[in-house]
Structure 1
């Protein structure tokens, strides 16, 4: 028997043979749990270049202005530059991009990966989250407004418990709490306690990995095997979240589940919204009850027993004679009459439900979210994670290894989410700022300083530049937790602005560019690729949609979607808005998204996978949508009266696609190719070649 098998068996047996993680005393010595310290007089470049000197590496020269401008546009807005004639200072270019509404669309999507954002539930009942888009738009608006990151986190954990200056801020903070409700749930789970604890576990996981960079959820069944997180700490936080009622929106209708309330929302819009909410919720309750009655009638066991006996009764009529035949015939007619009566009843129920679906009363603006439960209580330890095997009760609280004397404990009359949010974002919490600045660095350089961005624990990677990580974390907090100020400082550094040129000696010494002697080329995310294709073709609608994509579906009639109804594969891909506004339906993503490594919405994703596989090239060569965009790009060039010949058109194409003119060799080859066919066909083919090229798909 292998050691791995033995450990697995012992884990199932619930024995103490699995080694616990670090003690609290040892854990507080872990590098990530030490308070971040800043070196006096340090800067990004002084710290990076000191490490380069230590490693005897020569840094690259700065990239060309054109390459830097394209890099900045793609990194900060996710769109290619549209005007290369602007010769303003790079700092002014950065400021302009940070003020652009496209900044929030780009950087909000990064957070949505962590928040496991989706417009449907997935799992056993793929119920549509019709109002999840409000949370998505809240995230985008927060990044555009440069909302302090500590407030941003607090609102998502406890926005409903925070004071609001007006109805608009109240609505915003209620919407933020959808963060706690967006996870996939097993709606058909019949065990109430198990359902609730699975939801709590998922919430602990997204808070732990997303905010703290720790796998806190690993302590559900036993003390954490590696990190200083005992089971008691898991259940201290679980008590806070068990005292919280997630508002999932529409639950599955017409089935018996663990959910007593099949429709739970926050009503937005102040008093006007509150007035509309009771009648609307009562309507949903009646719709669910009527659908349950309809489904119950359809599946009635007595009716099915009669239906099952019909073939035998018909054979009896055919084979019997005399009085026996008359009796068999009477029995058959009675059975058929009873089934017909059932069918009339079912048809009436079906007609009533269909009619009810079209007469919903006026609705307030809804949002998913969370609120405190009426009963606030501490949680008992679940031995081996079993809801039927309970241990001691643990007072609601936080991780003991991060002891902050000035942090308030959970209030007795509330869930404790507000205090949890304040503890997470306390200046003395050593993880929260470090985790966020590490994420920002990873998005801008392609490689994080800590290469396990959701694991700052014992098994996580140690930072390549610990002093730099601490410098950024302290500066982040000193500058009011401003993400824009953090990004501005990074992108204006020499480290960010280096060229991507390869040096033979440096490549041999540091092939992974750990020490930042150059800027490593990075493949763009699928959203950037799709948006860049639409921008090149002139088909991109750069404004947020006035009508949400899911509005084209009936909220009562199309409540649930499954993998056998892949409605997104055609319609979504021809939507001309930015990709961040496309719905994320678990199980039915557009073909392009998983192919180019979209973040799986079932779990928090700190870092997307990167791959270069033949299927991606085949998609760009053969997909009908790509061919259509190439034709639009060609038509756009050929119809531009300011371009008088193919040389000018070619230069414009390269500038739009690569932010540079073609080289002499590229121009010669392209002009020769354009002479081999009709103008429209040749230009379409050339535009598709540009779209499929490696340079179009890479940030350099």
Structure 2
């Protein structure tokens, strides 16, 4: 049994509500009945929320020189009362903490009334019980070494994941749902692995998973499709804050899109995650690097750049280094190091010195803070990788470059030894207030930096991908879990620190993280492993018991129903209508967009001052290729909760607003797709019922029920009658979008079928993975 398993011997799952200060009375009673109280999973969440702001890691905010976040500090004699102690092992009555949290005196009670914080009776009782049991401290769970726990015994499941999940279900009084039907699984797997709906041919081939066409073969087929790389790349583009412009006021064009092509290529060829990270962090520092490895370092250069005259170059150069540091810590380590830019972290064991030691790894780039105003702009900033035609015919053949001009990409390049900068702790994070010099290193609370590594970005990559690093594998496995199930095992995927959410299945997280590293950091294998589980293959049926016990589906006794990401909603509509252009990679495109939007949010200067919509096939590319201007992100995507890409983001919200319904009902792309599909189906089927059946299969990815068939046929007949009696409305309805339409297609039948298809596109089921 692992160390983490021992800590969780009691009913760990019941602590989650307490950690978020939303514990039900039933959960509180169960917590108080827990045999062994854990500091990590029972006590630290309380102290972190209520006490650490004044008695935590931040020395600048610490009161009474008392630390409760460390065992040494909590058991030391009090500075103001040397004969007293905050904690006395086994003795609450002698522990000043217990006296203060139970005091009725406003001048003594902790937390103080002016903080607007208070402890519940159950929290006070739990702290008392912890003190009685010895007040034992533990290292933060996420910073503990990853040990592979034993798999629980179970009579349910298809692979090693399921026993861990089933164990937590049983603890909550839940049982798993039956397996979803084949149509639901085919759609679910296709959307998860390619971001596209399954074609009618794929549905027919794998319906019922018979004649050798097994579910496992379906996963293999989907993993081998080029669309796989496009689907997974969206996650990493959010993390790497990819965009097509520089940001700030003038917000000029930049040519970083070859990095996106590389990202899709890397996922499709299944580059191991440790190499995937190393190339992006330090591909230029690998001995004899290839142009592909250097191109990967564009990951570090996707942040905003100013092109405004009068700026102080060093101020912005520091801003760029800060961004790189914060992206590394949040996107790869899942920690909020940026909180330590100005002072010691208030909650996590990271000092300001450690922040600037991490900052030092990125502080010797050849990057400049300012290269000239908009009249001198280039589509890439120094250092630049020049891509020549021979590169496109060789090692960079995955780049989809449509013309013969050179490509410029902002990448990393290191200063020579004689040019190296000294890194200083910056007073309150201000660029021109250097204090104490520091050298490159990593937070000791995570993992000491091995002196065998060089103190540069390559050494940092080696540290991050070390088997001993407790965060990198945990964080990525959690991200993939989030991609599949909607929430990570750690819900706060960007915060594995003390203020983050506790893992719902900590032993499963560690098992997956260890197994991932043991199997060469194989991303496709990890995804297939998760999606082969019985946990993943459950139906999405929701019972009253589910809603009462586990409304958020934290314990996975059913499949979650999740709205698709913004880009994949566009993909589904284009693919189902037959409009989708499946060309891989290439420059970003400008689809339909409300007029005047760009112009209202621009300085009026530069090549992006006005929006020039693309034409032809460019209108029908996947959502991943939509042009992202930082000051005016794609409006439809933002309405559906996409990242605006101005900083590293590793989780998206899923809201439900009237604007989303307005987009689905009125967007030119949706209307055009409905028009094009109705025309194609009318040409293929003389019987409107057959046309409706195929439209339903393409869009909903399942066969119609008889009631649905009757309802849709009735709606078609009503619309047909309307258009027959209002012939002047036929062309108005059909004349939408730029896809060519023949005169013979302008019929009442096509207009009526278009309305039926629009109703299908506007069903919740259409844009929901369930």
Task: Give CA-to-partner distance per residue, 1:171-221, whole Å, 9 cap, x none.
Answer: 111111111111013343622332221111111111010000011121111
Aligned: 1:122 with 2:247: yes
How far 1:425 sits from its partner (Å)?
1.1
Aligned to 1:354: none
Aligned with residue 80 of structure 1, among 197, 207, 219:
197
2:227 aligned counterpart, secondary structure: helix
Q: Distance in 2 between matches of 1:119 and 1:546?
A: 12
CA–CA separation in structure 2 for the residues paired with 1:271 and 1:659 = 44
In 1, are the aligned partners of 2:693 and 2:703 still within 8 Å (CA)?
Answer: yes
The corresponding residue for 1:136 is 260
Q: Deviations over 1:566-597 (max 9, x none)?
A: 446x7699611111122222123333111111
| d(CA) in 2 for partners of 1:475, 1:590 | 39
Of stretches 188-197 and 21-30 in structure 1, the one that deviates more from structure 2 is 21-30
Q: State the partner residue of 1:667.
A: 709
2:329 counterpart of 1:208:
yes
Q: How many angstroms apart in 1 are the aligned matches of 2:273 and 2:569? A: 28
- Secondary structure of the 2:751 match is helix
Query: Is the deviation greater in 235-244 or in 466-475?
Result: 235-244
Q: For 2:446, which of 373, 378, 402 is the aligned residue?
A: 402
Measure, in 1, the Cα distance between the counterparts of 2:391 and 2:759. Answer: 55
Kept in 2: contact 1:57–1:517 (CA 8 A): yes
Which deviations, in whole Å up to 9, do the C-alpha atoms of 1:343-397 show, x marking residues without a partner?
A: xxxxxxxxxxxxxxxxxxx964322111102311331111111233322111111
C-alpha distance in 2 between matches for 1:141 and 1:268: 17
Q: 1:111 aligns with which of 236, 240, 251?
A: 236
How many residue pairs were aligned?
578
- CA drift of 1:622 comes to 1.9
Q: Which runs of 5+ in 1 are unaligned?
A: 1-6, 274-361, 551-557
Confirm or deny that 1:600 pairs with 2:710. Answer: no
Structure 2 residue corresponding to 1:52, chosen from 160, 164, 169: 169
Of 385, 393, 408, which residue of structure 2 is paired with 1:366?
Answer: 408
How far does residue 117 in structure 1 lie from its aligned partner after superposition?
0.6
Corresponding residue to 1:377 among 417, 421, 435: 421
Higher helix share: 1
Q: 1:475 maps to what in 2?
A: 515
**How do residues 633-672 of structure 1 correspond to structure 2 at under 5 angstroms?**
633-640=677-684, 643-672=685-714
Contact 2:239-2:648 at 8 Å conserved across structures = yes
Q: Tell me if 1:64 matches 2:185.
A: no
Q: 1:610 aligns with which of 648, 654, 663?
A: 654
Structure 1 residues 211, 254: closer, same or farther in 2, change over 3 A? same
| Cα distance in structure 1, aligned partners of 2:568 and 2:371 | 32
- Structure-2 residue corresponding to 1:693: 763
Q: Distance in 1 between matches of 2:617 and 2:766?
A: 19
More displaced stretch, 20-29 vs 432-441: 20-29
Q: Please state whether the residue corresponding to 1:86 is helix, strand or coil.
A: helix
**Structure 1 residue 153 corresponds to structure 2 residue 153:** no
Provide the aligned C-alpha RMSD in A: 2.9
Cα distance in 1 between the residues matched to 2:175 and 2:447? 43
State which structure, 1 or 2, has the greater radius of gyration over its C-alpha atoms. Answer: 1
SS of aligned partner of 2:503: coil
The answer for the alignment partner of 1:239 in structure 2 is 360
1:379–1:394 contact (8 Å) kept in structure 2: yes
Deviation at 1:268, TM superposition (A): 3.5
How far, CA to CA, are the matches of 1:527 and 1:548 in structure 2? Answer: 13
Cα shift at 1:605: 1.1
Task: Note closer, same or farther for the CA distance 1:547–1:32 as it changes in structure 2 (3 Å cut).
Answer: closer
Q: Provide the secondary structure at the position in 1 that maps to 2:437.
A: strand
Q: Per-residue deviation at 1:15?
A: 9.1
How far does residue 24 in structure 1 lie from its aligned partner after superposition? Answer: 11
Q: In 2, Cα distance between the equivalents of 1:129 and 1:50?
A: 51
The one of 294, 300, 318 equivalent to 1:174 is 294
Residues of 1 paired with 2:643 and 2:760: CA distance? Answer: 26
Distance 2:320 2:257 in 1: 21
